[in-house]
Structure 1
């Protein structure tokens, strides 16, 4: 005996059928027609030759035409601007024939009053019997808001580009103001310098200078201020002024750096203390060479390339960062440059550049950085070299490292040209050997 299931005390209501109920006055066919006529996008159908055979109310309202003005009387391309018509004939129509559909094409349509309507067009081909094209269905999406947005976006981008150009020009002008416009002429001495900018958007803190002091001697320095931007530029300006001013009263390199350390240490009162590394030197020209006295403050050692083809670092032991400690220690060293010798000063943008082997692997030595060992190998292969040749070679090296150089780099070379015998003139005694004057570029 089978038992009957008890009825559910709270039965769920049966779902209502989709669409209008039969007999309620609704007609699905009428709804589809209404959807076609008033859909938010324009609809247009044409035969393969282009003649319009159907168009919806939405597109007619956008363009301001009556239906009888278009259907059977116009082609789709006749509703386009001149540029749009050319694009339709040369690109859109051939693509439709080959692919059977296209989408996202930006065009301009001409309204009845002559105005332009920016639109996005999608079209597909409906095939008839025998697989031949019978109808082209085109959907038209109004793009006035999109075009206005794109125009505003383009304007904003152009303004941003102009602003960036102004910033770059300001940075370039400020950077140039922190460097000497040209190196002086020192008889018997050869000079060359180069500044490699890692970013045209920011001012770096690298600097160098060479200037006369008392007794026929010349002071020079090269260094790097911590940080970048306007703050670093202001400290760089202070450093250059302080070094020049101190050298005018007492050119001894150790005392000059001590004076600079006092100035910077007194300026460091905020949360972003500024310091620098620097090599300061005193150059004394001689009859067959020159004497250099160098004092270093936490700076990478200078490179000495001899006329005999050897190269090595010239260390200034004990030199501490400038501007960090009130009683920082600085030590000096002296070297004589003979004809054919060149001293190369540089900032750490060179040795801290990221080096990459030809097979794409980063150099393992120096933790992926170019490093002092690689630079020494480079100098050994370069020596002997004039100041100009050395700076040119380092500039090419920096360019070769490309994006691996992420910090500005300043380079200053001081050398003594090889003496050459002056030609004899009939009736005059033979001219003695001596250094040729050098004119820096």
Structure 2
């Protein structure tokens, strides 16, 4: 990126729009799992547009599907008209969801999907009380900022809903961190019951949770937590919403949806990001009686538009035809084992966690649990210098986020791992 473009960006864009790196880059070309910046430098991409470019770049099947729709001249009609590709994709997602009698509503983003799910749940329960997880993130809209359990991303204290936060999603800094898996689950469920009995009026609309917290640093609870929580929710008639914006489509490797690791079927699921592979698409899939709750008329101008639907349907077919869920499991295992081995000799690494191709590396000051923001910043620059792009997140902005395209090859995984291990050693040397 030239200084001129950066200056122009700062002149007309909000100050709160984040840019990575000391010298932000402009991506001008991409192919497979690599991107090229405006200086001609090429990088292996381990962040994939915040997990959105799930297939990688310039995938012929996706491009062909989009081009075929463009050739019809119909880029948009709105949902006031029948859209064949929208119905066909909804049928696929409803079946894949595992939710009985499921219905689907398409949006333009994950924020809008979560906002819609909140509106459905609160209307269905006739309550504005919502439960969310500590360290969570669900989007940038007014309603989703209101349920964000992460101060670094909570842009407003104003809220259209009354929110209470419960324990469970972020184990590394939890007061229950030293408990066994079963004891941890018991403690978090007891906290949920306590919050319901003490901090709410009882008629709570829903609990919304990410199976793996994305912006929160790819943190995750033991498998089974949300099944235990849903048993409590069901006893109160409270709905459960699984935010699958980052965990959907097989990325976690072990399951197609992140929540399936907990052996539970939610009432509503939200999705976005990887389904479009760069196209703007999101949505809600849920119980028909909940999705149908509105009495007023409504529609979506851009949600479910023919171009996005054509592209998204081809993405879903590509995931299935190439068994990318299995690839996520294999490549994730490769990366996790290599990173954990490197962490054993690097005291700046506090935790290596994740599933499939959702991996978090939490950096701390040596010998402590104190978040090391300086180490995360150094790692971002060291990896870029070596030709690798990674993300950063966590409550304290001290967690490296690795979410490569789901098509990552074994050789590319090893290349990225070698760079990460070398960058960790360089960071240790620079900061010790």
Same fold (TM > 0.5): no
Higher helix proportion (structure 1 or 2): 2
Bigger RCO (CA 8 Å, 6+ sep):
2
For the aligned pair, the TM-score class normalised by the smaller chain equals under 0.3
| TM-score (norm. length: structure 1) | 0.24
Q: Which has the larger radius of gyration?
A: 1
Greater strand proportion:
1
| TM-score under structure 2 length normalisation | 0.25
